[in-house]
Amino acid sequence: MFNEAGGKNPMAYTLVPALDDDKAWLERLWRAVYQELFVATFGGWDEVRHTRQFSECWQRGHIAIIEVAGERVGMIQRFEQPQNIEVGEMQVLPSYQNLGIGSSVLRDTIARAQPQQKKVTLSVALKNERAYRLYQRLGFHEVGRSETHTFMAYD
């Protein structure tokens, strides 16, 4: 099987552009992935904040659903900019985490950026230590921080 960049991939996936009909599924994914982290970061669940943040993500667009063997397992939001590819969001269902899917998607994003001499940028919640360690293993380095997030780049 092959990945997005055309290379061999132990966890082959397909990216499918998200459509309006996918919004409800994406909202459930967002909740499944972020609820525990949201509570750890903000001290409790806030439905209004959750709805607002998901809505802002949806409105920014550029969302693709990650499918493995025809099954929806996650999403990525990427923005192609002149100097970089920004990963706005990447989420994998908890039952599919630690299988190499996120790593494969990010490696392919890096492979896509390199011929264009672009950086890949992303942010990760300070409390999301697993994701932070993944990004470090893939070669991302810290370029800044806010009260809630670490900003990282691969260049």
The DSSP line for 94-107 is GGGTTSSHHHHHHH
pTM: 0.88
Residue 86, both tokens: 């920004």
**36-72 pLDDT per residue, tens:** 888 877 788 888 988 999 999 999 999 999 999 999 9
Does residue 53 come out as left (phi exceeding 0), alpha (psi in the -120 to 50 range) or beta? alpha
Question: How far is 34 from 30, CA to CA, in rounded Å?
Answer: 6
For a pLDDT cut of 70, what percent of the chain falls above it?
A: 93
What confidence score (pLDDT) does residue 10 get?
54
In whole numbers, what is the pLDDT of the chain averaged over residues?
91
Three-state secondary structure call for residue 129: helix
Ramachandran category for residue 120: left, alpha or beta (phi over 0 → left; psi -120 to 50 → alpha): beta
Give Cβ neighbours of residue 103 (< 8 Å, ≥ 6 apart).
134, 137, 138
Q: What is the pLDDT of residues 18-46, one digit of tens each?
A: 999 999 999 999 999 988 888 877 788 88
Structural domains of the chain sorted by starting position, each given as residue range(s) with its CATH number in brackets: 14-154 (3.40.630.30)
Q: Tell me how crowded residue 62 is: count the other CB atoms within 10 A of its CB.
A: 15
**126-139: average pLDDT:** 94
